[in-house]
Structure 1
Amino acid sequence: MRLLVLGGGGFLGYHVAALAHRAGHTVTVASRSGRAPLEGVEALTVDRHGDLSPLDGRTFDAALDTFSDPDAVRAAARRLRDTVGALGYVSGMSVYHPRGPAVPDERAPVRRPGEARDGDPLQERSLDKLAAEAAVAEEFAGPVSVLRVGIMVGPRDPSDRFTWWPVRLARALTGEAPRTVLAPGDPTRAVQYSDARDIAAFAVDVLARGQAGVFDTVGPGRAQPLATVLEGCLEGVGGRPGDVEWAWAGEDALRAGLTDVEEEERPLWFPEDQIPQDAIDSSAALAAGLRFRPAAETARDVLAWHRERGSPDLAAGFTSTREAELVRRCVSGAAPTG
């Protein structure tokens, strides 16, 4: 397959390009920087808000677009309609109506202008994603696949919200940080997230088949308790059950104690007030071949990537002092944290 990735230097786009290249496909990325994300991948310099002419005269079997600007997405779909066989677009689970079913599937109601509550941080970006979904369906002549993603984690995740856990746990195992680890909310609460590499593999597979449709791609495809995910992270960094003491804090107490920390700067899965659904039904994508790796594998690879990038600072999380303060304030009967 000759695959065009619009983007390709960041997070999901990078993993799509890398996986497709390793699978033997011919990969071209188009981005403003014009830099190839890895050896053996062609790069084109393309301005999504301006000059798309580097795409002229080029044909591809498939293309993937991850952009959120609906006008830019429409322009690209129109440009590629006669030169690309199949088109994929990456949308998000936030498009579902906040007053819809607790576990929506692809048929659930979506957001509409003017219906969000005041201060809903997802409304504007979700409407943009829905407009972009409509644009690719209207402008592109061939099969269109829409992947609605949720919280994506894994190597190269710029948010560091999942990365916090393997890094924090590794520091506990080496004695660099306390072995009492603040843990958020109810340990039995089910959580959903996806390793971006699993979504990338599904995207490449769907595009290679030219399969059309809308797919929820939120993992791990089953009700996985938060405690199980965190123990998986511990296993992934070389720990065993009992190597750390989880200090489980109530979500209400954490919410009150984190008013000065934006949700995007908190580790997963502290109170996720932006997410109104209990879970997302990804059974259609699972039936079409989507698979999710275990948390331990993601944690292991994320820790290795973090060490390779040589950056001790994380974009999300707390200092040891702040974490200890939260344990004292939010955990009843907490053990000493020193």
Structure 2
Amino acid sequence: MRLLVLGGGGFLGYHAVAEAVAAGHDVTVLSRSGTAPVDGVEVLTGDRQGDLSALRGREWDGVFDTFNDTAPGAPAIRTTARLLSGAVGGYAYVSGMSVYAPGGPAVPDEDAPVREDGVEPATDRLQERSLAKLAGEAAVTEEFDGVALFPRVGIMVGPRSTRFTYWPLRLAAARDGRLPRRVLVPGDPARPVQFSDARDIARWSTAMLAAGRGGTFNTVGPGRSESLAEVLDACLLAVGATADDVELVVVPHEKLLRGQLIDVDEEDRPLWYPEDQICQDAVDSGRAAAAGLVFRPTVETASATWRWAEDAGSTEAADFVEREQGILRAWRR
């Protein structure tokens, strides 16, 4: 397949490039920097909200787009979809599971009702982002004449992500004595959690494009019923630690919120479960699983994320530990 990736230097886009190259596809990247994210790809210089001339007169079998166009009507996505219509076989636009209406089912599938403008309160932090994603889906549907693929993602983790890195880094530092042994566990450890390794979404999405398949799919940990405790066990295993190396202290989630012990915005703190913004109990991703989406074991994600974070010199765990220990002291009192 000849694949065009719009971006490719960040998180999911980078993994789409890497997975496609590993699968033997010919990859072209459009970026403002003109820098190749991995070896062996063609790079075109351009701007999603400006100069797209490098795309004119070219043809590809598929395009992978992660751009979050927050302007009304998603004009940048609309322009790109119109430009590539007739020149590309399939268009994958990455949407999100937050598009589902908070008042809908607790476990939405792809047919669940989605958000509407003016319905949710102004305090809903996901409303603007979600409406932008829905506008992006509409732009591709209306402007692109080929196969359209809409993976609706949730919490994505893995190498090059900075939120999930806290857990393996924190547990490894507790094991080594570099940080306190007492580690805060927020909320009920038995609570099921869902998340996705971005590499798995990237691999599946590019394979769907190569097969000429489209549709709307939830891509949030399908078939996974892991609890927070199991995720932490996987992180311990990934860093070569055991439960004897750390002291896990559970603080009920409602105490964290009602006691105002957490005043850091969700996007700026480690990945803790349950996340405040998520309205649903879980997401039904059975349709994607039936279409071949498979997620690797959590221990593999934790191990790769830990190695990447260590190599990158991440200080995430150390940066948060003072606040964490303050929460534990308040909880003890």
TM-score, with normalisation over the residues of structure 2?
0.95
Match of 2:233 in 1: 231
| CA distance in 2: counterparts of 1:110 and 1:235, whole angstroms | 39
Match of 2:217 in 1: 215
Give, as a single letter, the amino acid of the residue that structure 1 aligns with 2:301: T
| CA distance in 1: counterparts of 2:318 and 2:195, whole angstroms | 18
Residue-by-residue CA offset, 1:196-225 (whole Å, 9 max, x unaligned): 001011111111111110000001532211
Q: 1:325 to 1:259 in 2, by over 3 A?
A: closer
Does residue 304 of the first structure (1) align with residue 307 of the second (2)? yes
Q: 1:239 to 1:273 in 2, by over 3 A?
A: same
Match of 1:204 in 2: 206
Match of 1:335 in 2: none
Residue-by-residue CA offset, 1:36-84 (whole Å, 9 max, x unaligned): 1011111111111111110011110111111121111111110001110
Give 1:15-164 correspondences, 5 Å limit: 15-69=15-69, 70-157=74-161, 160-164=162-166
Does residue 326 of the first structure (1) align with residue 330 of the second (2)? no
Contact 1:143-1:210 at 8 Å conserved across structures: yes
Q: 1:294 to 1:331 in 2, by over 3 A?
A: farther
| CA distance in 2: counterparts of 1:283 and 1:241, whole angstroms | 33
Q: 1:5 to 1:240 in 2, by over 3 A?
A: same
The structural deviation recorded for 1:173 is 1.3
Match of 1:64, SS? strand
The structural deviation recorded for 1:26 is 0.3
Match of 1:245 in 2: 247
Match of 1:336 in 2: none
Give, as a single letter, the amino acid of the residue that structure 1 aligns with 2:323: R
Match of 2:280 in 1: 277
The structural deviation recorded for 1:320 is 3.0
| CA distance in 1: counterparts of 2:305 and 2:267, whole angstroms | 18
The structural deviation recorded for 1:265 is 1.7
| CA distance in 1: counterparts of 2:14 and 2:319, whole angstroms | 28
Match of 1:261, SS? coil
Identical counterparts, % of pairs: 58
The structural deviation recorded for 1:259 is 4.0
2:265 to 262, 269, 272: 262
| CA distance in 1: counterparts of 2:62 and 2:238, whole angstroms | 35
Contact 2:222-2:288 at 8 Å conserved across structures: no
Give, as a single letter, the amino acid of the residue that structure 2 aligns with 1:225: S
Contact 2:222-2:286 at 8 Å conserved across structures: no
Contact 1:257-1:326 at 8 Å conserved across structures: no
The structural deviation recorded for 1:95 is 0.3
| CA distance in 2: counterparts of 1:143 and 1:235, whole angstroms | 42
> Structure 2: 5+ residue runs without aligned partners?
none
Contact 2:179-2:318 at 8 Å conserved across structures: no
Contact 2:223-2:286 at 8 Å conserved across structures: yes
The structural deviation recorded for 1:258 is 3.5
Of 238-247 and 280-289, deviating more is: 238-247
Residue-by-residue CA offset, 1:75-111 (whole Å, 9 max, x unaligned): 1110001110111110000000011000000000000
Give, as a single letter, the amino acid of the residue that structure 2 aligns with 1:250: P
The structural deviation recorded for 1:325 is 1.7
RMSD: 1.4
Residue-by-residue CA offset, 1:266-285 (whole Å, 9 max, x unaligned): 21224422110000000000
> Structure 1: 5+ residue runs without aligned partners?
333-338
| CA distance in 1: counterparts of 2:318 and 2:134, whole angstroms | 31
Residue-by-residue CA offset, 1:292-327 (whole Å, 9 max, x unaligned): 111111111111111222x3422x885433222211
TM-score, with normalisation over the residues of structure 1?
0.94
Give, as a single letter, the amino acid of the residue that structure 1 aligns with 2:247: E
Match of 2:14 in 1: 14
Contact 1:248-1:331 at 8 Å conserved across structures: no
Match of 2:149, SS? strand
Residue-by-residue CA offset, 1:215-236 (whole Å, 9 max, x unaligned): 0000153221110011111111
